Amino acid sequence: MDAHLVEATIKANLTEIRNRLDKAAGIGRAADACAGAGFHEKGLEVALDIEQLLYEATTLLNAASLINRWPDKAKRSVPLGPKEASTAPGGNAIRTRP
């Protein structure tokens, strides 16, 4: 994946995370206001709307983290199998008897 594309994607994900957390904070303030006015049950009902936003923010964070690691994995060669690793310089594969 191109480095510029990685950067743009991560920035977009972080913006979306912020948007969802801002909405969740607003809902939290509304729930707190309800509870402060004596409507505890309504406050809890309102607060439950935060759950989906937090789930989405967490998913976006996980995606950004994965994308951030993508270029590192692309630079690596295909992992060696036990036979190839045992003959590679510094190979530490465990040898088994046939």
Q: What is the pLDDT of residue 95?
A: 46
The answer to the question of residue 97 being in a domain is no
The answer to the question of residue 96 being in a domain is no
Q: Please state the domain count of the chain.
A: 1
Contact by Cβ (8 Å): 10, 68: yes
Angle ∠(87,92,70) on CA atoms, nearest 5: 95
The answer to the question of residue 56 being in a domain is yes
How high is the mean pLDDT of the chain?
82
The answer to the question of residue 61 being in a domain is yes
Considering the entire predicted model, what is its pTM? 0.68
CA distance 5 to 91: 35
* Interval 21-46: pLDDT, tens: 999 999 999 999 999 999 999 999 99
Going from the C-alpha of 6 to that of each of 19, 60, 61, the distances in angstroms are 20, 14, 14
- Tell me which residue range forms the domain holding 54: 3-87
Contact by Cβ (8 Å): 89, 49: no
Residue 60 banded pLDDT, cuts 50, 70, 90: very high
The answer to the question of residue 35 being in a domain is yes
pLDDT at 74 over 60: no
